[in-house]
Copies of this chain bind each other. A is one copy, B any other.
Amino acid sequence: MAQQTETVRRTPLSRERVLSAAVVLADESGVESLSMRKLAQQLGVVPMALYKHVANKEELLDGMVDVIVGEIDTGASGDDWKSAVRQRVLAARQILLRHPWARHVIESRTNKSAVVLEYMDAMIGMFRAGGLSVDLTHHVMHAMGSRMWGFTQEVFDDSAGAAAEIPPAMLHAMAEKYPHVMEIAMRADHDDESVVGQGCDDQFEFEFALDLLLDGFERLHEQGWTSRGRST
């Protein structure tokens, strides 16, 4: 009678199954509420089972980043380096936008996996192929910062969108205390002759900054930049 262990013997765990379940869970309810226990439950397994596939939670997060970075479209393009980089970064952005938690996780990771190193190596290669010197490329990569992953750290919170729900009295008080902030927030909010609509257009802001940087890189490159201001 001994029934076949269970109806059909569920598909076994694997590192891949663990990681992608974790990504799904983070997409759904945020990375801050992702726990080994909830992840295990989702997979119909006891928490400790996960530890046969990932060393610990840190490594789980590393793996999740790899999954995301692996999704980035790295289709080659024969364009000039600027367009190539631009295209790659915007492709990364498309992916990152679908996994809002990834921003935070990427920033907090300290070890770089093979997948991440490959991505970075390829991007460095784009600048080098464009003729930028090793040194200039080095600085340029630093200047890119997390923008190479397609996100800005949104220090400048979208105070505009929220303005609608703030009582007028408080709005007035804020306008007195933070006149410049309000000026910008209000403009972004109801500037009817612009495209923005609600709040401000994150995509526009991102491309604005990206192009500013790329143009700056190009200018330095054309001027034959060499460690200005440093002794030879």
Cβ contact within 8 Å between B155 and A118 = no
Distance in angstroms between the alpha carbons of A173 and B183 in the assembled complex: 55
Chain A: number of interface residues, binned into ranges: 35 or more
**Quick check: is A230 within 8 A (CB to CB) of the other chain?**
yes
Question: Which residues on the B side are within 8 Å of A104 (C-beta)?
Answer: 107-108
**Quick check: is A38 within 8 A (CB to CB) of the other chain?**
no
Q: A185 → chain B, closest Cβ, in Å? A: 9
> A121: nearest residue on chain B (CB-CB)?
B178
Cβ contact within 8 Å between B142 and A107 = no
- A-B contacts, 29 listed (Cβ < 8 Å): A104-B107, A106-B155, A112-B157, A114-B177, A117-B181, A120-B178, A124-B184, A125-B180, A134-B184, A135-B187, A137-B180, A138-B184, A138-B188, A138-B200, A139-B204, A141-B184, A142-B205, A142-B208, A142-B209, A145-B152, A145-B154, A145-B155, A146-B153, A194-B227, A204-B230, A212-B216, A212-B217, A213-B213, A216-B216
